[in-house]
A and B are shown apart, each in its own frame.
Chain A
Amino acid sequence: MIDVLKKFDMDELLNCMHCGFCLPACPTFQQTGLETYSPRGRIALMKGVAESKLPIDEEFEHNMYACLGCRACETACPAGVKYGELIETAREVVEDTKKAAGRQSFGRRIVLKRLFMHPRRMKLTGRALWALQASGLQELASKTGLVQILPREMTEMQVAVDRVASPADRKKRTRVVKAEQRAPVARKVGLFTGCIMDVMFYETNQATARLLSKAGCDVVFVDQQQCCGALHAHSGEKADAKVLAKQNIEAFEALDLDVIVNNAGGCGAALKEYHHWLKDDPVWADRARNFVAKVRDISELLTTLPLQVTKTLNARVTYQDSCHLAHGQGVRKQPRDLIRSIPGVEYIEMENADGCCGSAGIYNITNFDMSMRVLDDKMNHVADAKASIVVTANPGCLLQMKKGIIRAGLEGRMEAVHIVDLLDRLV
């Protein structure tokens, strides 16, 4: 127990002066008006636990997992409290305590361990999903109520899932996509495909490679890459997250790349934190730093490359920030610049664009009801923008926005699309 508590960075906890500046930024506080659902409250609870004034019990666990991890509070905090790190530690402490007590783990952990630790299993799931959809079973299942065997949360979310790529399509992927034209500075780019991304949004990864090739890069699909580890880190499984980080660093450094690019804000934020995760590891600290120095989000990279958007798109377009891209990586301007660079586009900034959509990793499965409350508020702003396209930069947000469009009855009037897919249609 005592060892578990040592994990908290007391200085960081004390840095919070309970000023409350973070409250208006926090989606869960906005929904509930309760301090237990606010960043200030959660930090106080962590401090209470760290000082052994509060037990690490189910209530604490609930409060730590009710946080979206969107890190909007971090952007708002004038004292510079590193909330993202604090919440990861808090969840780690919860999980460690449960393990020590031999208590049963969550569905959340089973999913993480069984699925996300094993890319092969992810691929299998992808194929199963494809088979299900291809055979029309999905439709049948929803009609007959067969989907009811899935937990309600998953059933609810699956309506937003597009058709996934077939195994035959997947086989066609070449390992290297050569540059179509030589850029002034030729770049050798490694594509971080992501685990869910590569299953559910396989085509977006292909599109990313096409775009980069048109912009003068040699793109490599790196074998041996693993899940980024973000979901594990956010779920208190830091040890697993570190294992994945090391495997990724190894896989990418073998290829001597100029840039490591990703198209998922959540994965990108994790990749850019590897040097923090591994800072105390004498063997890996330097290697992690070198790795992190090369990591870029696709929007960051594209805005530095000579990419010509040629086709015109006569549409009103708005952008939903990915929390981990905006609050985590500080990338806000580049995706907007890319959208504005499309001929014909009328760009409209929606209110509270960098407020979380409620997707937040697997939050929309684990905390379905709160996730939908946050989403419905978000959709009010989306609808107010009166755009026909809402652009996202992260697979989780994309799925959530698709779900939101259905919930808000905006189908047919509005589409949600990943920024890469949008650009791919137009170059």
Chain B
Amino acid sequence: MMDEEVLVQLRNIVGKNRVLTRGNELYTYSFDATPIVQAQPDVVVMPGDTREVAEILKLAHVNQIPVIPRGSGTNLAGGTVPVEGGIVLNMTRFNKILEIDEKNLTATVGPGVITAEFHKAVEECGFFYPPDPGSMRISTIGGNVAQCAGGMRGLKYGVTKDYVMGLEYVLPTGQILRCGGKNYKDVAGYDLTRLLVGSEGTLAVITEITLKLLPRPETKRTLVVFCHQMVDAARIVERTIAEKIIPATMEFLDQATMQVVDDFSHLGLPRNVAAMLLLEQDGSEEQVVRDVDRIAEIAREEGVADVQLAKTAEEGAKLMAARRSALAALSRLRPTTILEDATVPRSQLAQMVEAIIQISAKHQVQICTFGHAGDGNLHPTCMTDERNHEEIKRVEEAFREIFATALALGGTITGEHGVGMAKMAYLPQRVGEGGIELMQAIKQAFDPHGIMNPGKVVAKAARSRVVVRNA
């Protein structure tokens, strides 16, 4: 329970309608898109500007109250679950695009701007902002930055960190600071901008973001390849890149995922092929046509079932939208859907997919896999039932092996969803004990009282993976 005096002060800072304390209100902020994990905050606060954020943090700092920044709560790592209670700081009112600077090719936005709306706004000015997480119609730019979200264009264009140029942020003490800015070159001191990107709300609250824009590509084309075998898909990816063609997107769906996606989007996908590759190339008309033709040729040489070129832009957009719905569509199969985020160097893709198939068979759990084939970022997704505790144990065991395999293949435990609370137990294996200690020291420097999103990423006592804390 929160001290009544603190609530009074919070109401003074943001106004009484922006402080939520009722039972239902707290309950609806006790979860995010992550399955199974849940814990209630003591209060939800909706600040409207940086000064309010600073005041709230000062108050929290003095009273040592946890503060959990929150965008749209679409993360899949339990990043916004208030495991130690405290203040959920809802940042969605920071939803203004403050500037699109056509001379410097930058845009400055509030963290609450919805990713897809940002896309729309910059595209209307002839610009392009590549990071496109599958959740972009709902996720906020702030959430993207705090998670370093990736997306389907990661192969050619990189991920969120490659576009964040400057930040305004508030330290847990209430101090308002800035780092980076509009300079394309800037090596003054440590790169705090890069450090804050992907910090998952554990270091500071981001209140303003300056992003890099690109000119909008002239054209784009979409190609679908249906493969008899999983390895064919992997080989097409390898050969394409070996020929120095870098497509904007190379997505991959296995058979089970395709079937479910098709049930949802009625695209008429074939039911009997093992995998589907979805490719998109953008750039100048001539280049795009040449690249797409060559990829189709490579695919045919690999003896695939079928190669189809999207005839219109709408058809291409529809296919991409279908890919984006993959996770949610999979959730139709069983009550609980657990999506993971194992990533391997691209050359190990086929081996990793094979391993996932074997592991799921061994533990008798249903795992479908899809993901960003071009950058080795796979999303093995398990359809299960959280009420079946015995099965959940097997699921955890299977994922433990999947991560071990990914690490053994030179991969990592998360490519884009972050560590949050879901992946904390695996982090030492990835960065080493020395790495953890250094990260904890950085955390200590930013947040001496440990109030920023406690229990996440580098928390001292790592919890076991599944935390079911009844609200």
Residues of A within 8 A of B (CB): 11, 14-15, 17-21, 23-24, 33-36, 38, 40-41, 44-45, 48, 53-55, 57, 59-60, 63, 77-80
Give the distance in Å from the alpha carbon of A53 to the alpha carbon of B135 in the complex: 29
Give the distance in Å from the alpha carbon of A11 to the alpha carbon of B328 in the complex: 16
Contact B138 A21 (CB under 8 A): yes
Contact A59 B22 (CB under 8 A): yes
Give the distance in Å from the alpha carbon of A21 to the alpha carbon of B134 in the complex: 10
Q: Which residues of B contact A33 (CB under 8 A)?
A: 46, 90, 92-93
Q: Which residues of B contact A45 (CB under 8 A)?
A: 24, 27-28
Give the distance in Å from the alpha carbon of A349 to the alpha carbon of B137 in the complex: 22
The CB with the most chain B CB atoms within 10 A, among A20, A38, A55, is that of A20
Chain B count of residues within 8 A CB distance of the other chain: 39
Contact B327 A48 (CB under 8 A): no
Q: Which residues of B contact A54 (CB under 8 A)?
A: 23-24, 27
Contact A20 B72 (CB under 8 A): yes
Contact of B29 among A35, A57, A78 (CB under 8 A): A35
Contact of B28 among A15, A17, A44, A78 (CB under 8 A): A44
Contact of A59 among B23, B137, B325, B336 (CB under 8 A): B23
Q: Which residues of B contact A77 (CB under 8 A)?
A: 328
Q: Hey, what's the 0/1 contact readout for B24-37 against A, CB within 8 Å counting as 1?
A: 11011111110100
Give the distance in Å from the alpha carbon of A34 to the alpha carbon of B22 in the complex: 13
Q: Which residues of B contact A18 (CB under 8 A)?
A: 31-33, 73
Give the distance in Å from the alpha carbon of A78 to the alpha carbon of B134 in the complex: 13
Shortest 4 CB-CB distances between A and B: which pairs? A78-B328, A14-B335, A35-B28, A41-B28
Chain B 182-235 residues near chain A, CB threshold 8 A: none
Sampled A-B contacts (21; CB under 8 Å): A17-B328, A18-B73, A19-B138, A19-B327, A20-B72, A21-B325, A23-B138, A24-B137, A33-B92, A33-B93, A35-B28, A35-B29, A41-B28, A44-B27, A44-B31, A45-B27, A48-B27, A60-B24, A63-B24, A77-B328, A79-B328
Q: Which residues of A contact B335 (CB under 8 A)?
A: 11, 14-15
Contact A79 B329 (CB under 8 A): yes
Contact B72 A23 (CB under 8 A): yes
- Chain B minimum-CB-distance residue to A79: B331
Give the distance in Å from the alpha carbon of A15 to the alpha carbon of B331 in the complex: 7
B163 at the interface (CB under 8 A from A): no
Contact B135 A20 (CB under 8 A): yes
Residues of B within 8 A of A (CB): 20, 22-25, 27-33, 35, 46, 72-74, 90, 92-93, 114, 135, 137-138, 264, 325, 327-329, 331-332, 335-337, 385-387, 470-471
Contact B33 A19 (CB under 8 A): yes
Contact B328 A53 (CB under 8 A): no
Contact B33 A17 (CB under 8 A): yes
- Chain B minimum-CB-distance residue to A37: B28
Give the distance in Å from the alpha carbon of A41 to the alpha carbon of B23 in the complex: 12
CB distance from B136 to the nearest CB of A (A): 11
CB distance from A86 to the nearest CB of B (A): 14
Q: Which residues of B contact A59 (CB under 8 A)?
A: 22-24
Give the distance in Å from the alpha carbon of A15 to the alpha carbon of B22 in the complex: 26
CB distance from B164 to the nearest CB of A (A): 23
CB distance from B400 to the nearest CB of A (A): 22
- Chain A minimum-CB-distance residue to B329: A78
Contact B470 A36 (CB under 8 A): no
Contact B29 A17 (CB under 8 A): no
CB distance from A95 to the nearest CB of B (A): 18
A19-B327, A38-B28, A41-B28 known; 13 other A-B pairs, CB under 8 Å?
Answer: A15-B331, A17-B328, A19-B328, A20-B72, A20-B138, A21-B325, A35-B25, A36-B24, A36-B28, A45-B27, A59-B22, A77-B328, A78-B331
Contact A24 B264 (CB under 8 A): no
Contact A24 B331 (CB under 8 A): no
Contact A78 B325 (CB under 8 A): yes
Give the distance in Å from the alpha carbon of A20 to the alpha carbon of B29 in the complex: 13
Q: Which residues of B contact A20 (CB under 8 A)?
A: 33, 72-74, 135, 138
Give the distance in Å from the alpha carbon of A59 to the alpha carbon of B23 in the complex: 8
Give the distance in Å from the alpha carbon of A15 to the alpha carbon of B28 in the complex: 17
Q: Which residues of B contact A17 (CB under 8 A)?
A: 33, 35, 327-328, 331, 336-337
- Chain A minimum-CB-distance residue to B137: A24
CB distance from A9 to the nearest CB of B (A): 11
Q: Which residues of B contact A40 (CB under 8 A)?
A: 28
Give the distance in Å from the alpha carbon of A397 to the alpha carbon of B332 in the complex: 33
CB distance from B75 to the nearest CB of A (A): 10
CB distance from B469 to the nearest CB of A (A): 12
Give the distance in Å from the alpha carbon of A379 to the alpha carbon of B74 in the complex: 31
CB distance from A369 to the nearest CB of B (A): 14
Contact B470 A53 (CB under 8 A): yes
Q: Which residues of B contact A60 (CB under 8 A)?
A: 24
Contact A14 B329 (CB under 8 A): no
Give the distance in Å from the alpha carbon of A38 to the alpha carbon of B46 in the complex: 16
Q: Which residues of A contact B385 (CB under 8 A)?
A: 14
CB distance from B147 to the nearest CB of A (A): 14
Contact B74 A19 (CB under 8 A): yes
- Chain B minimum-CB-distance residue to A55: B23
CB distance from A324 to the nearest CB of B (A): 22
The CB with the most chain A CB atoms within 10 A, among B20, B74, B137, B331, is that of B331
Q: Which residues of A contact B337 (CB under 8 A)?
A: 17
Give the distance in Å from the alpha carbon of A24 to the alpha carbon of B92 in the complex: 13
Contact B22 A79 (CB under 8 A): no
Give the distance in Å from the alpha carbon of A133 to the alpha carbon of B135 in the complex: 53
Give the distance in Å from the alpha carbon of A385 to the alpha carbon of B309 in the complex: 35
Contact B332 A80 (CB under 8 A): yes
Q: Which residues of A contact B35 (CB under 8 A)?
A: 17
Give the distance in Å from the alpha carbon of A11 to the alpha carbon of B335 in the complex: 6
Give the distance in Å from the alpha carbon of A238 to the alpha carbon of B334 in the complex: 29
Q: Which residues of B contact A44 (CB under 8 A)?
A: 27-28, 30-31
Give the distance in Å from the alpha carbon of A48 to the alpha carbon of B29 in the complex: 12
CB distance from A336 to the nearest CB of B (A): 18
Give the distance in Å from the alpha carbon of A63 to the alpha carbon of B23 in the complex: 11
- Chain A minimum-CB-distance residue to B325: A78
CB distance from A47 to the nearest CB of B (A): 9
Contact of A24 among B32, B138, B327 (CB under 8 A): B138
Q: Which residues of A contact B114 (CB under 8 A)?
A: 24
- Chain B minimum-CB-distance residue to A62: B24
The CB with the most chain A CB atoms within 10 A, among B29, B328, B470, is that of B328
Give the distance in Å from the alpha carbon of A24 to the alpha carbon of B31 in the complex: 18
- Chain B minimum-CB-distance residue to A11: B335
Q: Which residues of A contact B73 (CB under 8 A)?
A: 18, 20, 35
Contact A21 B471 (CB under 8 A): no
- Chain B minimum-CB-distance residue to A57: B23
CB distance from A56 to the nearest CB of B (A): 11
